[in-house]
């Protein structure tokens, strides 16, 4: 008798097509593919998500994508797995503020008469990392992709945990700075407002814009301009009050930084956005740590610092775009740009507070970081690990690990859901690590 019953079930589905359709639906793009019973990625494709055209158009686009993928396979697929944002159960997309749909049954996402299962986009990526990737063999860990927004997959006893009502893992909306900026969700000081990739880029542009608007023409930019006020000393009261002073936590330091500095007062409340009555998180961004106290930084004559995202350095990185991305902000921070360093420092601080809280509550064996921001590598992992440990005075911090599956995580997780829908027990358990070297989604 075969000790692995999943092989027999998968073989039974080979008469249909021996593959499933897997689709990872994001707010801007949909990543899809065909995945075989042994984890082989047979085909991948990518299409834009027509979010601006309304939820019904998005559902139609998903159905068309599933049908086109199935037509490219041999025979009828054994199942369909779809990862979607928002509040979701395995058989219904309950609500998505980002896209705008409400109470869409799983069958509504496919024109095929085959089993289908839905999953939350981040938890589905966490499922893939748990079964196939960086969390393979770990029973309890956090999967935290940091991209346009921030959400986590809480993996407990080997299974992503959604909580009593499906909202589990919304770590991006943990308040980390109670007196800080207003998040699009309506709360104050959320992690996502400081540490998501979109917020890092946004906050960097806003800081430069404020500095440029208060600068006297013809004079060099002072560090105080970039920080929103003059440098503050630790032994003197901060002009905006002690609530706006934070001494830097250990971690990243840029050339010319000093040991102690004051961060600028946080900008005022920002209005929250909405889609179909639901809140939408702003585009996040990165922010570097460290600063340059008391040192004048003059713009190059050919650069216009009044442009959003401009700086003495950014012209070298993104002259064609006219603005800085989160990736640019990190690179600028590493080069000593004081504004970028301040923004990155806030992001690292916010992440360290949120991860310390998570660690004390759930004691994970590791924390897996993914998404576009994780591509910062040592610029993220090294100072964040140091800061996280500094928050945990009586215990060791869990190790930080990069996600292993990259852009394929959501799609591979959707494939696992598709095989679950098809009745295969423990799909992925026998898949080899060759799946990690399969072609990436374009």
Higher pLDDT, 96 or 417: 417
CA dist 13 and 5 (Å) reads 13
Are 302 and 157 in the same domain?
yes
- Strand, helix or coil at 41? strand
- Do the strands 278-280 and 79-84 form a parallel or antiparallel pair, or are they unpaired? unpaired
Are 171 and 310 in the same domain?
yes
Q: Quick check: 318 pLDDT over 90?
A: no
Are 146 and 207 in the same domain?
yes
Are 271 and 232 in the same domain?
yes
DSSP-assigned letter for residue 70 = H
| Structural domain includes residue 212 | yes
Residue numbers of the domain that contains 76: 5-130+405-437
pLDDT for residue 442: 58
Are 81 and 167 in the same domain?
no
86-100, 291-305, 364-378 — which is least confidently predicted?
291-305
74-88, 294-308, 424-438 — which is least confidently predicted?
294-308
Are 193 and 124 in the same domain?
no
CATH code where residue 340 lies: 3.30.420.40
| Structural domain includes residue 393 | yes
Q: Is-contact 409 128, C-beta < 8 A?
A: yes
pLDDT for residue 295: 28
Higher pLDDT, 281 or 428: 428
| Structural domain includes residue 442 | no
| Structural domain includes residue 41 | yes
| Structural domain includes residue 336 | yes
Are 124 and 267 in the same domain?
no
Q: Which percentage of the chain shows pLDDT scores above 70?
A: 69
Are 277 and 298 in the same domain?
yes
Q: Is-contact 66 110, C-beta < 8 A?
A: yes
Are 243 and 328 in the same domain?
yes
H or E element at residue 389: helix 378-391
pLDDT for residue 158: 87
Q: How many domains does the chain have?
A: 2
pLDDT for residue 208: 87
pLDDT for residue 196: 93
DSSP string, 312-348: TTGGGT-TTTSS--HHHHHHHHHHT-HHHHHHHHHHH
CA dist 50 and 209 (Å) reads 32
- Strand, helix or coil at 388? helix
Chain centroid offset of residue 278 CA: 20
Are 413 and 271 in the same domain?
no
pTM of the complete model beyond 0.75: no
Are 124 and 239 in the same domain?
no
Are 94 and 215 in the same domain?
no
CA dist 32 and 243 (Å) reads 48
| Structural domain includes residue 433 | yes
Q: Which percentage of the chain shows pLDDT scores above 90?
A: 56
Q: Quick check: 299 pLDDT over 70?
A: no
Q: Quick check: 308 pLDDT over 60?
A: no
Q: Is-contact 25 422, C-beta < 8 A?
A: no
Q: What is the token pair recorded at 35?
A: 């995945």
Higher pLDDT, 285 or 50: 50
| Structural domain includes residue 29 | yes
| Structural domain includes residue 265 | yes
pLDDT for residue 211: 77
């Amino acid at each position: 008798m075969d000790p692995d019953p999943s092989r027999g079930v998968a073989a039974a589905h080979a008469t249909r097509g021996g593959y499933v359709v897997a689709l990872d639906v994001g707010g801007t793009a949909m990543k899809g593919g065909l995945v075989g019973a042994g984890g082989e990625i047979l085909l991948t494709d990518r299409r834009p998500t027509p979010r601006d055209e309304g939820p019904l158009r998005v559902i139609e686009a998903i159905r068309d994508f599933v049908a086109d993928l199935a037509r490219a396979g041999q025979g009828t697929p054994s199942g369909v797995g779809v990862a979607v944002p928002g509040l979701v159960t395995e058989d219904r997309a309950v609500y998505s503020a980002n896209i705008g749909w409400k109470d869409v049954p799983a069958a509504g996402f496919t024109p095929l008469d085959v089993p289908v299962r839905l999953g939350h986009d981040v938890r589905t990526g966490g499922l893939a990392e748990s079964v196939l990737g960086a969390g393979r063999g770990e029973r309890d860990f956090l999967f935290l992709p940091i991209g346009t927004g921030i959400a986590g997959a809480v993996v407990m006893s080997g299974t992503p945990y959604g909580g009593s009502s499906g909202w589990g893992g919304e770590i991006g909306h943990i308040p980390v700075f109670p007196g800080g900026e207003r998040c699009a969700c309506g709360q104050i000081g959320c992690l996502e407002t400081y540490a998501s990739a979109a917020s890092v880029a946004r906050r960097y542009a806003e800081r430069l814009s404020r500095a440029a608007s208060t600068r006297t023409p013809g004079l060099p930019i002072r560090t105080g301009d970039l920080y929103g006020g003059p440098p503050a000393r630790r032994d003197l009261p901060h002009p905006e009050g002690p609530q706006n002073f934070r001494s830097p936590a250990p971690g990243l330091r840029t050339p010319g930084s000093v040991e102690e500095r004051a961060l600028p007062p946080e900008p005022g409340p920002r209005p929250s956005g909405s889609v179909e009555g639901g809140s939408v998180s702003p585009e996040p961004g990165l922010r570097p740590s460290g600063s340059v106290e008391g040192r004048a930084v003059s713009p190059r004559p050919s650069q216009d610092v009044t442009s959003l995202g401009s700086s003495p350095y950014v012209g070298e990185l993104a002259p064609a775009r006219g603005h800085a991305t989160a990736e640019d902000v990190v690179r600028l921070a590493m080069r000593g740009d004081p504004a970028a360093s301040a923004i990155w420092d806030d992001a690292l601080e916010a992440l360290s507070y949120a991860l310390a809280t998570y660690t004390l509550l759930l004691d994970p064996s590791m924390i897996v970081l993914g998404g576009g921001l994780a591509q910062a590598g040592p610029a993220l992992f090294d100072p964040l690990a140091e800061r996280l440990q500094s928050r945990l005075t009586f215990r060791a911090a869990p190790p930080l690990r990069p996600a292993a599956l990259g852009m394929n995580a959501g799609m591979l997780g959707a494939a696992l859901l598709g095989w679950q829908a098809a009745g295969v027990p423990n799909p992925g358990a026998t898949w080899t690590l060759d799946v990690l070297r399969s072609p990436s989604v374009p």
